Amino acid sequence: MAQLFPFTDPMASDLSPPKQFVRGEGIRVFDADGKAYIDAVSALWCASLGFAPDRLRQAMDRQMGELAYYHSFMGRTPEITNRLAQRLAQHLPGPLNHVFFGTSGSEAVETAAKFARYYQEARGKPDKRRFIAREGAYHGSGQMSAALTGLTYCHDGFGLPLADVLRTGRPHFLRDADPGETEIAFSKRRARELDALIRQEDACTITAFIGEPAMGAGGVILPPEGYWSEIQEVLARHDILLIADEIICGFGRTGQWFACETYDIAPDMMTMAKQLTAAVFPMSAVAMTDHVRDTMAGLAGQHGTLGHGVTYGGHPVGAAVALECLDIYAEMDLPTHVQTLGDRIGTHLQDLKSLPGVLDVRRDGMLAAVEFDTNGKFGPDLGRRIGEEAERRGVFFRIIGDVLAIAPPYICTPEDIDDIMLVMRDSIGHITGAHHLPAAAT
Ligand X SMILES: Cc1ncc(COP(=O)(O)O)c(C=O)c1O
Q: In the complex, which residues of this chain contact ligand X (CB under 6 A)?
A: 44, 104-106, 109, 138-141, 212, 216-217, 245, 247-248, 273
Q: What is the DSSP string of 335-388?
A: HHHHHHHHHHHHHHHHHHTTSTTEEEEEEETTEEEEEE-TTSTT-TTHHHHHHH
- Nearer CB in complex with ligand X: 387/429: 387
Smallest distance, Å, CB 249 to ligand X?
8
What's 224's DSSP letter?
P
C-alpha–C-alpha distance, residues 347 and 363, integer Å: 11
Smallest distance, Å, CB 143 to ligand X?
12
Q: Which of 359, 85, 375 minimizes the C-alpha distance to 219?
A: 359
- Nearer CB in complex with ligand X: 105/150: 105
- Helix (H) or strand (E) segment spanning residue 303: helix 290-303
Q: Which residue is nearest to ligand X, using beta carbons?
A: 105
- Helix (H) or strand (E) segment spanning residue 97: strand 96-102
C-alpha–C-alpha distance, residues 117 and 114, integer Å: 5
Query: Do residues 330 and 283 make contact, with C-beta atoms less than 8 angstroms apart?
Result: no
- Nearer CB in complex with ligand X: 80/273: 273
Beta strands 269-272; 206-211: pairing state: unpaired
Smallest distance, Å, CB 279 to ligand X?
9
- Nearer CB in complex with ligand X: 252/429: 252
Smallest distance, Å, CB 33 to ligand X?
28
- Nearer CB in complex with ligand X: 50/136: 136
- Nearer CB in complex with ligand X: 286/421: 286
To 5 degrees, how large is the angle CA 317–CA 323–CA 327? 145
- Buried b / exposed e over 326-342, threshold 16 CB at 10 Å, is bebbeeeebbebbbebb
Q: Which of 357, 402, 401 minimizes the C-alpha distance to 376?
A: 357
- Nearer CB in complex with ligand X: 249/423: 249
Smallest distance, Å, CB 216 to ligand X?
5
- Nearer CB in complex with ligand X: 140/357: 140
Smallest distance, Å, CB 144 to ligand X?
12
Smallest distance, Å, CB 212 to ligand X?
5
- Helix (H) or strand (E) segment spanning residue 117: helix 105-122
Q: Which of 287, 321, 275 minimizes the C-alpha distance to 41?
A: 275
Smallest distance, Å, CB 211 to ligand X?
9
